Structure 1
Amino acid sequence: MELELISIGNYKIMVHTIVFIVGIFVVTKILLWLIKQALYRQKTTINLDSGNTYAIFQIIKYIIWVIAFGFILETIGIKVTVLIAGSAALLVGIGLGLQQTFNDIISGIILLSERSIKIDDILEIDGDILKIQEIGLRTSKGLNRDEISIIIPNSLITTNKVINWSHQSKQTRFKINIGVAYGSDVDLVEKVLKESAWEHPEVSDKNLINIRFLDFGDSSLQFQVIFFSENIFRIERVKSDIRKVINRKFKEHNITIPFPQMDLHFKTNFSENTQQPKNNS
């Protein structure tokens, strides 16, 4: 155990030092595993959902790893207090160079501690809809509706306007706009639109389906279908299905969806006594 492995001047690393480092690493991993199992086992008892449990575990994990890293430095003979004091100027320089990175890390700590955003939450960021899969210390990972995994800097979530659809009630209201030709039976159009939304199995609370006659458009009568659904992340598929039903029912009832059109009127004003040019020959 006293066998010398590396010697640089007065600095030596012995076999027992390596054993201690490996021991600290193994103990840390085991401790984290036990904490994780205990948290996820007791989450129903202490009324925590998966997102909150994940956030608490991430905070604990980072704290324990920082402590473990400090022990490792002490084990190999590096005094943490001396290291911090001696590298203060260097840390200032690094902080200025990595300002955005530190901003992302602080934002990650805020997200994990506040728990305003959790795993499986549906967010709207810069017009894109994402389901959060992972919240890290610097970045978070989300899946958009095209099944593309997106890495998001945490500062983007904390500093920008973000809509968290998961903070709504389970039922969220959505809209579909559609126009029909002038001369259509308004009552029949409203009936067909309501039936079309009614047929979809993922439309919640059928009694809340509402049809609005919005306006007299340039080329059509404008209607709006309002419905509620719990399928927030895949709502575009639900809307597509409802539009297909609307199109089919419109054909069955001879309701026309008009093309944009414009009437042009040409005004002519020719004089009957228009004089012909004189022939000078």
Structure 2
Amino acid sequence: MTVQEFIEFKIISFGDYFVTPLHIMQMVILIIVSWTIILISKQVVQRQINSGRFDKGRGKALFQILNYSIIVLTIIAGLDMVGVKITLLLAGSAALLVGVGLGLQQVFNDIVSGILLLFEGTVTVGDIIELNNIVGKVEKISIRTSKIETRDGIVIIVPNSKLVSDNVINWSHNRSVTRFRIKVGVAYGSDVSLVMKLLSDSALEHPEVVRTPEPKARFIDFGESSLDFELLFYSKRMFDIEFVRSDIRVKIDQKFRENNITIPFPQRDLHFKTSDTFSIDKTK
């Protein structure tokens, strides 16, 4: 058998389509080239991230898009090598695709949503988001689902359509710091200016609170049993900010005790209405 006969030998044959050793070699070369392009793309994107031209989330989103595009082109090129025309394949299976599309409508919705997320970058890897009152960090965005790690270390698999159609609060979108608040009430008669100073100082003394913008305290209301204040501060530590809030509350309590400022208990005035007394018949 000559080399020409060997490479044209039909290993698998089905109708007008067949697979020869030449097809197999072409497929192997195509896969190697595609894999090489993916690796090079990953290195290029990583260099852009390291240089600061891309943030980590957008860089990974760009690589995902390139990765999926290369895989799709590789599959189309592989089918074309064995003589399968993708246009004829789609035309011949149009009715089947319609049925599959109706049955997998939600899956296609999630896939399209994943593509939108990767292109738009409204939610990227590393973002701190709040979805359905659950705060978590986006660990991975795939073509259909995304992985979100909560503060409890639990990984939630979320369909991408939820991140597109639902109300998602992105704490870290286009910013490195986020504003948080702590509310506290003090007893009537307290020195308002001193309370506001102690609140601001308590935040400034915490290493995770940024100095610019600086923390601010404000007097928000006259409560039923207290003067109500609010402390506003900015921090880069968004994922586990509750620990920062806890530390600041401890510092506030300490400073209030040192300056004889009281955090009051809720107070209620009770009025008792006396009714007519019943007479007791002592003859019985």
Q: Report the Cα offset of residue 17 of structure 1.
A: 3.5
TM-score of the superposition, structure 1-length normalised? 0.85
Q: 2: CA distance between counterparts of 1:10 and 1:73? A: 13
Q: 1:254 aligns with which of 254, 260, 263?
A: 260
Aligned counterpart, 1:74: 80
Which amino acid is the alignment partner of residue 171 of structure 2? W
CA contact (8 A) 2:123 2:173 kept: no
148-157 or 11-20, which moves further after superposition? 11-20
1:235 aligns with 2:219: no
Mapping for residues 130-209 of structure 1, pairs under 5 Å:
130-167=136-173, 169-205=175-211, 208-209=214-215
Gaps of 5+ in 1: none
Alignment of 1:1-281 (within 5 A): 1-2=6-7, 5-6=11-12, 12-42=18-48, 47-167=53-173, 169-205=175-211, 208-268=214-274, 270=276
Cα contact 2:226–2:264 (8 A) shared by 1: yes
Closer, same or farther in 2 for the Cα pair 1:109/1:217, shift >3 Å? same
- One-letter code of the match for 1:50? K
Rounded Cα–Cα distance in structure 2 between residues aligned with 1:269 and 1:211: 50
User: Cα offset for 1:43?
Assistant: 5.4
Q: Deviation per CA, 1:197-217: give whole Å up to 9, x if none.
A: 121111112773222222222
Cα RMSD (Å) of the superposition? 2.9
Structure 1 residue 97 displacement after superposition: 0.7
Shift in CA distance, 198/48, structure 1 to aligned 2, threshold 3 Å = closer
Shift of 1:54: 2.1
Q: Which amino acid aligns with 2:24?
A: I
Identity %: 48
Deviation of residue 5 (structure 1)? 4.7
Identify if the C-alpha distance between structure 1 residues 34 and 187 changes in structure 2 by more than 3 Å, giving closer, same or farther. Answer: closer
Cα distance per residue 1:166-193 (max 9 Å; x no partner): 2354332211011223343434333322
Give the Cα–Cα distance (whole angstroms) in 2 for the partners of residues 248 and 163 of structure 1: 33
Q: Which amino acid aligns with 2:254?
A: R
Q: 1:261 to 1:14 in 2, by over 3 A?
A: same
Q: Distance in 2 between matches of 1:42 and 1:255?
A: 53
Report the CA distance between 1:243 and its aligned residue.
0.8
Alpha-carbon distance change, 193 to 10 in structure 1, aligned in 2, over 3 angstroms: closer
- Report the TM-score when normalising by structure 2: 0.84
- C-alpha change, 1:10 and 1:117, in structure 2 (3 Å) is closer
Number of residue pairs matched?
278
Give secondary structure in 2 for the equivalent of 1:166: coil
Q: Kindly state the Cα deviation for residue 100 of structure 1 after the two structures are TM-superposed.
A: 0.9
Unmatched segments (≥5 aa) in structure 2: 1-5
Question: What is the alpha-carbon distance in structure 2 between the residues aligned to residue 114 and residue 183 of structure 1?
Answer: 53
4+ long deviations beyond 6 Å: 274-279
Distance across 1 between alignment mates of 2:279 and 2:75: 104
